[in-house]
Amino acid sequence: MTQAVAVRPALTRHDEIAWRRGQAASTSRLVAEETAVALSYNGSTHAVMMATPADLEDFGVGFTLTEGIVRHAEDIESVELIPDDLGLEVRIWLSGDRAAALTARRRALSGPVGCGLCGIESLEQARRPAPLVTSRMTFGAEDLLAAMQSLAPLQTMNLKTKSMHAAAFWQPSSGIGPVREDVGRHNALDKLAGAIVGSGLPAAEGAVLLTSRVSVEMVQKVAMIGAPIIIAVSAPTTLAIRTAEEAGITLLAIAREDGFGVFTHPHRVIWPADALQRAS
């Protein structure tokens, strides 16, 4: 499905003068690469994202799914990575029906130059309804907290750079895996979506772990993945909470060592007995 090509490294080493505790020293450190990645469909560029050049096949597949360009991975015929002096192109080829539907969508979104979001159609697209997640899975509160706490050591690129977001998939039966990282939180989640599809994992039976805040787009993407739970280290926005409620997603946020907050659909979280006694 994917043509393998050599791409630029995801991390590069740079010289640094480190000033710590009043002392200066010459050293070097690994820094996350950030490059322009164009996503094209059947020969036409659809979007250009600034991203880390790693797991780009997952990125292409995941973006295509979470943005609703296709509903099923089978509609993606191939993914090619094309290096360029200015960045990289993720060239995606869709089946005939999906390619025609995307062309029609582009025509519907066309508008005059300088129109911002290009009118009503673009505003509707920005606030598109998320699919309803109907999974009946339940998860132990302590297990979810332990999963979130175990994510940091698995962020291999962030351990070296201290500058990257991660999105991971966790199942009670098998733990965390896969983990995807990127300088952009949306990109990390798209890469995770592609990895879940590529690995054939049951999205409805696990939770998505995020090292970022939760905005509406993140909830929309998780709904497209079909995972019933989001747990994140940072806070959600009001629109993210509203969207998670509408989509049937259990939204956990502000995850710290001592716990987290549950903002929507708490029925999926199983609390320890003593926690319920204290709450009552």
Kindly indicate whether the domain formed by 35-126 is annotated with CATH number 3.30.1330.10.
no
Task: Read off the pLDDT band of 274 (50, 70, 90).
Answer: confident
Q: What is the pLDDT of residue 278?
A: 54
pLDDT higher than 60, residue 2: no
Return the active site residues: 115
- Give residue 102's pLDDT: 80
238-263 average pLDDT score? 97
The pLDDT tens digits for 51-70 are 999 999 999 999 999 999 99
Give the position of tokens 């983990």: 179
The predicted structure's pLDDT at residue 118? 40
Residues 149-176, mean pLDDT to the nearest whole number? 97
pLDDT at residue 279 in the model: 53
Percent of the chain with pLDDT over 90: 79
What per-residue confidence (pLDDT) applies to 110?
43
User: Who contacts 63 (Cβ-Cβ below 8 Å, separation ≥6)?
Assistant: 39, 47, 49, 69, 190, 193, 194
pTM, two decimal places: 0.89
Per-residue pLDDT at 126: 63
- Predicted confidence (pLDDT) at residue 73 exceeds the cutoff of 70: yes
For residue 129, the one-letter residue type is: P
Instruction: Domain ranges for the chain, please list them.
Output: 35-126, 139-279
The per-residue pLDDT for 104 is 65
- Give the pLDDT score at 84: 85
Which CATH number is associated with domain 139-279? 3.40.140.10
Contact indicator for 253, 234 with CB cutoff of 8 Å: yes
> What whole-number distance in Å separates Cα of residue 184 and Cα of residue 164?
7
pLDDT-based confidence at residue 8 (cuts at 50, 70, 90): confident
CB count, 10 Å around CB of 231? 26
Other Cβ atoms within 10 Å of 54 Cβ, number = 21
